[in-house]
Homo-oligomer: A and B are copies of this chain.
Amino acid sequence: MKSVARDSSSLIDLYLKIRKRSEEICAPLEKEDYIPQPITDVSPPRWHLAHTTWFFEVFLLQSYLKGFHFYHPKYNFLFNSYYRNVGERWARPERGHLSRPTVDEIYAYRRATDDRIVKMLQDLQGRDFDKAAHLMMVGINHEEQHQELLIYDLKYILCHNPLQPVYNRPANPDLFQQSLPEDYKDFICIGEGLYEVGYRGDDFCFDNEQPAQKVFLPQYHLRKGLVTNKEYLEFVRDGGYQNFNLWLDDGWTWKEENRISHPLYWHEIDGQWYEMTLNGLRELNLNAPVTHISFYEAEAFSSWAGLRLPSEFEWEIAALSCMPDRHKSNMLENKLFHPAPPLSSDSKCYQLYGDVWEWTYSAYHPYHGFKTVPGALGEYNGKFMINQMVLRGGSCATPRQHIRKSYRNFFHPDKRWIFSGIRLAK
Q: Which residues of A contact B (CB under 8 A)?
A: 30-38, 46, 74, 77-78, 82, 84-85, 90, 94, 96-103, 157-158, 160-163, 165, 194, 213-216, 218, 220, 244-245, 247-252, 295-296, 299, 361-363, 365-366, 368-369, 378-379, 383-387, 413
Contacts and interface: CB of A to CB of B under 8 A. Distances in A.
Given A84-B244, A94-B38, A249-B82, A74 B32 contact: no
B214 A162 contact: no
Nearest to A295: B386
How many copies make up the complex?
Answer: 4
Which 10 A/B pairs are nearest by Cβ-Cβ distance?
A: A363-B363, A38-B97, A216-B216, A35-B35, A32-B99, A249-B383, A33-B99, A84-B244, A248-B386, A31-B31
B216 A215 contact: yes
A239 to B, nearest CB: 14
Nearest to A365: B361
**Most B CB within 10 A of own CB, among A30, A101, A102:** A30
A103 B248 CA distance: 34
Nearest to A72: B163
A168 B38 CA distance: 30
Contacts of A30: 99-100, 102
A100 B158 CA distance: 8
A35 B38 contact: no
6 contacts: A30-B102, A34-B99, A78-B162, A99-B158, A100-B158, A250-B387
A160 to B, nearest CB: 6
A34 B78 CA distance: 20
A102 B34 CA distance: 12
Nearest to A30: B102
Contacts of A74: 162-163
A366 to B, nearest CB: 8
A379 B252 CA distance: 13
A35 to B, nearest CB: 4
Contact of A387 (B82, B369, B387): B387
A296 B102 CA distance: 37
B100 A32 contact: yes
B413 A387 contact: yes
A99 B165 CA distance: 10
Contact of A218 (B97, B213, B247, B361): B213
A33 B161 CA distance: 19
Contacts of A378: 245
Contacts of A369: 218
A387 B294 CA distance: 14
A103 to B, nearest CB: 6
Contacts of A252: 383
Contact of A161 (B98, B160, B220): B98
A77 to B, nearest CB: 7
A36 B99 contact: yes
Nearest to A75: B163
Contacts of A251: 386
Contacts of A90: 162
B215 A161 contact: no
B96 A36 contact: yes
A368 B234 CA distance: 27
B384 A249 contact: yes
